[in-house]
Amino acid sequence: AQTVTQSQPEMSVQEAETVTLSCTYDTSENNYYLFWYKQPPSRQMILVIRQEAYKQQNATENRFSVNFQKAAKSFSLKISDSQLGDTAMYFCAFTSEIQGAQKLVFGQGTRLTINP
Amino acid sequence: EAQVTQNPRYLITVTGKKLTVTCSQNMNHEYMSWYRQDPGLGLRQIYYSMNVEVTDKGDVPEGYKVSRKEKRNFPLILESPSPNQTSLYFCASSLSGTVSTDTQYFGPGTRLTVL
């Protein structure tokens, strides 16, 4: 079974700093997809970024970028120029074609606090 | 506005008292699913539905039931709630069942406490 591990339960940085959240996963499949979701205090789940495993280029969305290391099964999220509004719980998630891509497997989450 | 709604948003109940958490989407999505979120465990899928009258178990279906009689609604039923079902519940929907490529729309969550 696929598993997703986020080893940092909590992180805290100063506003405008860069922060990197870690995520590792375990799968024997070759074709899969990885995601980072943001959950602010409002509890709404917001898709931050998506990466397809067959694409070598790392995905970027404005201040958010990933470092996808397929061989190491690592998928970290970098937030540049962090803002107070980035304060949230961040979840790494995985899905694959073989399991019908019908569910997301989530990590435990990392609670990120941006301090003024 | 495209959205997934859940009701109630908060619920405190007692062990054994049947309850239903409703989920409705207005986007004509075929796929709907339920997740529960627990500290240190992230979100885990309970049930999902690929279309009307088609439902299947996720990773943690024990103690839950679902139905999909209409495309827009996917209620989560707890026939006899127990304290270990105290959790934050999310409903999600997408156009098709391919969560790898279809944007997942999540509801606002339902905080359930079972005493």
In angstroms, rounded to a whole number, what is the distance separating the alpha carbons of residues B86 and A89?
20
Work out the mean pLDDT of chain A and round it to a whole number: 93
Question: Smallest Cα–Cα separation from A53: which of A71, A35, A28, A30?
Answer: A30
Model confidence at B103, pLDDT cuts 50, 70, 90, reads confident
For residue A17, the distance in angstroms to the closest alpha carbon of chain B comes to 26
Task: Note whether B43 contacts A91, CB cutoff 8 Å.
Answer: yes
The mean pLDDT value for A80-94 works out to 97
Instruction: State the best of B37, B100, B102, B104 to mutate against chain A, taking most chain A CBs within 10 Å.
Output: B100
Provide the 10 A C-beta neighbour count for residue B63: 14
What pLDDT, on the 0 to 100 scale, is given for residue A102? Answer: 74
A20-24, A34-38, A93-97 — which is least confidently predicted? A93-97
DSSP-based three-state secondary structure for A66: strand
Residue B38 pLDDT > 60 = yes
pLDDT at A2: 82
Q: Within chain B, where are the H helices?
A: none
Segment B74-91, tens digit of pLDDT: 999 999 999 999 999 999
